[in-house]
Amino acid sequence: MEAQVTEQTRKDRGASLLEVCDQLVKLAKKAGASDSEAYAERTRESSVKVREGSVEELQQATSKGVGLRVFAAGRLGFAYGTDFSKDGLRGLAQSAVSLAKGAAKDPFNELPRGSQLGRGPEGGYDPAIEDIDPAWKLRAAHAAERAAGQVDRRVRKFDSTGAGDFLASSAIASSRGASGESRASYAYVYCSPVAEADGQLQTASWSDTRRRLSELQAPEEVGRIAAQRAARMLGARKVKTQKAAIIFEPQQAAGFLAGLSGAVNGDLVHKKSSFLAKLLGKRIASEQVTLVDDATLAGGLATRPFDGEGVLSQRTVVIDRGVLKNFLYDTYTARKAGARSTGNAARGWSSLPRIGTSNFVLDRGGASADEIVRGTKRGLLVTAMLGSGASAVTGEYSRGANGLWIEDGQIAHAVQEVTVSGSLLELLQAIDAVGNDLDLRSSTAAPTLRIAEAVISGS
């Protein structure tokens, strides 16, 4: 890996993040660690909120932190802090080493090394976001709110509308040769209006986040979509308890996938605690389902050159045309399970690496969302959900849902106060339509999905 130091951080501080990490690794060795790894981050965030045409909040800050993982006599210790002074770092190294004494000796405690380490494609970093004009954010937020206010006279209230940017640089260094820096930039616009009629309030929100400013959805568009989504929920009511088709809009389909991510976590699988643990190589979903975890994906919000342990980013096929192909691993769990790290160590400076998805994406299918709706005789188009609802252990799925009722391919009325339930395996196998509307607006992303039948609980 090559060291990449941004000019910004050079100007701000004496030491680069990578230098801080290198220093910590040296200090850890001095304090008695046999191996160590430091991970540091510096972020800059700036945001505006507007409401009813005036500024509601301006926020701006920079922030930093470093975490140190050590192994001493095969035992794991971890310490983190925000004090980058020499004394602060020395204190961190001493406490990590001393904490390791309390942990159990574990033969799988090792850092990644050699050919595992490396640098894949960079994630998007846009200097235009770095240099974003504060006035631009205000204009964007105002424009989104104004556009939302012109959609429907029943949309008059706003919870909040805003825009912002977020820059992050991170560095990693280890006694096993990990050494690198990476950067990420994000810009976003969001709008949360409330529609009101006949004593009913319905809120909806729409947002867009991108790593390049030029790819960001027009703020007016964000506002309009948000308002349309709120207005179309007015008059929502329960439906009868029944079995019917479920269509997940892309965001809700992504939420459904997120429920699966726990079940392909190598740690849960190794403990036989995932409902998918024994199904590797088996058909678990409809043939229309292909799911990948891809940290190298161009334009992905979670694209990065290496993972939270410095392991080279990769593309892992999780489900290939319905067949379960791979689970996701970090270094520790991979060693324990006799597998290879898939570069899925997720990381922040204040926590130990743990298995997490990067860009977790369902392949697009052939049908447009409209065609899927038109082809549905009776069902619920789910537009928002409540609750976490999916158990990776038992494979049970049950969530609150809002949406639109479909009769004979047409939208009949809005629906609220119902739940959608089933077993995740049955739901995956019942997927009978996959849309062509995949958009990487979140790191877990999916196109429109239809499940042939699930239980809807209502009146």
Partner 1 sequence: MPLVEKLLSAAMSRGAEFGEVYVERATTTAVSLDEGKVRSAQVGAVTGVGVRAIRGAQVGYAYSDDLDEAALLRTAQTAALIAEGNRDPGPVALSRTPLPTYYQVKQPLAGIDVARKIELVREADAAARAHDRRIRQVTAGYADQTREILVANTLGHLAEDRQDLCRLGVSCVAFGKGGERRTGFYGGGGRVDFRFFEDFSPAQVGREAARQAVATLGAVPAPAGPQTVVLAPGWSGILLHEAVGHGLEADFIRKGTSLFAGKLGDKVASELVTVIDDGTVAGGRGSLNVDDEGNPGERKVLIEKGVLKGYLYDHLNAKLTGQRSTGSGRRQSFRYAPMPRMTNTYLAPGDQAPEEILRGVRKGLYCRQFGGGQVDISNGNFVFEISEAYLIDEGEITRPVKGAMLIGVGPEALKNVSAVGSDASLDPGLGTCGKDGQSVPVGVGLPTVRIDNVTVGGTGA
Interaction pattern, residues 372-391, with partner 1; x per rule: CB under 8 A: ------------x-xxxx-x
In the complex with partner 1, the residue whose CB is nearer, 120 or 379, is: 379
In the complex with partner 1, the residue whose CB is nearer, 32 or 81, is: 81
Query: Which window, 151-159, 298-306, 310-318, 357-365, contacts partner 1 (CB under 8 A)?
Result: 151-159
One residue of 122, 215, 417, 439 binding partner 1 per CB under 8 A: 417
From residue 210, give the alpha-carbon distance in Å to each of 110, 149, 416: 35, 24, 31
Token pair recorded at residue 192: 């949360």
**250 touches partner 1 (CB under 8 A):** no
E strand or H helix at 421 = strand 410-423
In the complex with partner 1, the residue whose CB is nearer, 4 or 350, is: 350
**205 touches partner 1 (CB under 8 A):** no
Residue 248: name the closest of 382, 425, 373 by CA.
Answer: 382
Contact 69, 36 (CB under 8 A): yes
**422 touches partner 1 (CB under 8 A):** yes
Query: Which window, 103-111, 122-130, 180-188, 285-293, contacts partner 1 (CB under 8 A)?
Result: 103-111
**239 touches partner 1 (CB under 8 A):** no
**CA dihedral for 306, 312, 313, 318, sign (positive or negative):** negative
**19 touches partner 1 (CB under 8 A):** no
**201 touches partner 1 (CB under 8 A):** yes
Query: Which window, 140-148, 155-163, 164-172, 284-292, contacts partner 1 (CB under 8 A)?
Result: 155-163
One residue of 10, 73, 235, 241 binding partner 1 per CB under 8 A: 241
- Helix ranges restricted to H, 171-320: 219-231, 250-261, 266-270
Interaction pattern, residues 274-303, with partner 1; x per rule: CB under 8 A: -x--x-------------------------
Query: Which window, 2-10, 25-33, 73-81, 145-153, contacts partner 1 (CB under 8 A)?
Result: 73-81
**9 touches partner 1 (CB under 8 A):** no
**95 touches partner 1 (CB under 8 A):** yes
Query: Which window, 100-108, 169-177, 362-370, 435-443, contacts partner 1 (CB under 8 A)?
Result: 100-108
In the complex with partner 1, the residue whose CB is nearer, 46 or 288, is: 46
Query: Which window, 164-172, 257-265, 396-404, 442-450, contacts partner 1 (CB under 8 A)?
Result: 396-404
**14 touches partner 1 (CB under 8 A):** no
Tell me the residue type at 305. Answer: P
Q: Site size for partner 1, by CB under 8 A?
A: 75
Contact 429, 282 (CB under 8 A): no
In the complex with partner 1, the residue whose CB is nearer, 379 or 447, is: 379
Q: Quickly tell me which residue has 């800050």 as its tokens.
A: 61
* Exposure letters 325-358 (e unless 16+ CB within 10 A, then b): bbbbbbbbbbbbbebebbbbbbbebeebbbbbbb
- Shortest Å distance, C-beta 381 to partner 1: 17
E strand or H helix at 336 = helix 331-337
> Is 177 exposed, middle or buried (CB count within 10 Å of its CB: 0-12, 13-18, 19+)?
middle
Biggest CA–CA distance in the chain, Å, is: 72
* Beta strands in 25-178, from DSSP E residues, in sequence order: 35-51, 54-72, 75-81, 155-174
**16 touches partner 1 (CB under 8 A):** no
- Shortest Å distance, C-beta 290 to partner 1: 26
**396 touches partner 1 (CB under 8 A):** yes
C-alpha–C-alpha distance, residues 420 and 405, integer Å: 13
**155 touches partner 1 (CB under 8 A):** no
CB-based contacts of 30, cutoff 8 Å, min separation 6 = 93
Q: Which of residues 156-185 bind partner 1 (CB under 8 A)?
A: 157-159
**139 touches partner 1 (CB under 8 A):** no
Contact 309, 112 (CB under 8 A): yes
**99 touches partner 1 (CB under 8 A):** yes
**111 touches partner 1 (CB under 8 A):** no
C-alpha–C-alpha distance, residues 214 and 221, integer Å: 14
C-alpha–C-alpha distance, residues 376 and 327, integer Å: 33
In the complex with partner 1, the residue whose CB is nearer, 207 or 316, is: 207
| Vertex 282 angle, CA 281 and 287, to 5° | 110
C-alpha–C-alpha distance, residues 103 and 299, integer Å: 41
Query: Which window, 59-67, 320-328, 337-345, 367-375, contacts partner 1 (CB under 8 A)?
Result: 59-67
**455 touches partner 1 (CB under 8 A):** yes
**11 touches partner 1 (CB under 8 A):** no
Token pair recorded at residue 435: 């849309």
Tell me the backbone φ, ψ of residue 155, rounded to 5 degrees. Answer: -100, 100
**Strand 54-72 to strand 75-81: parallel, antiparallel, or no bridges (unpaired)?**
antiparallel
Q: Which of residues 316-375 bind partner 1 (CB under 8 A)?
A: 350, 352
In the complex with partner 1, the residue whose CB is nearer, 79 or 319, is: 79
Tell me the residue type at 85. Answer: S
Return the half-sphere exposure (C-beta side, CA atoms, 13 A cut-off) of residue 280: 14
**CA dihedral for 422, 425, 429, 432, sign (positive or negative):** positive
**55 touches partner 1 (CB under 8 A):** yes
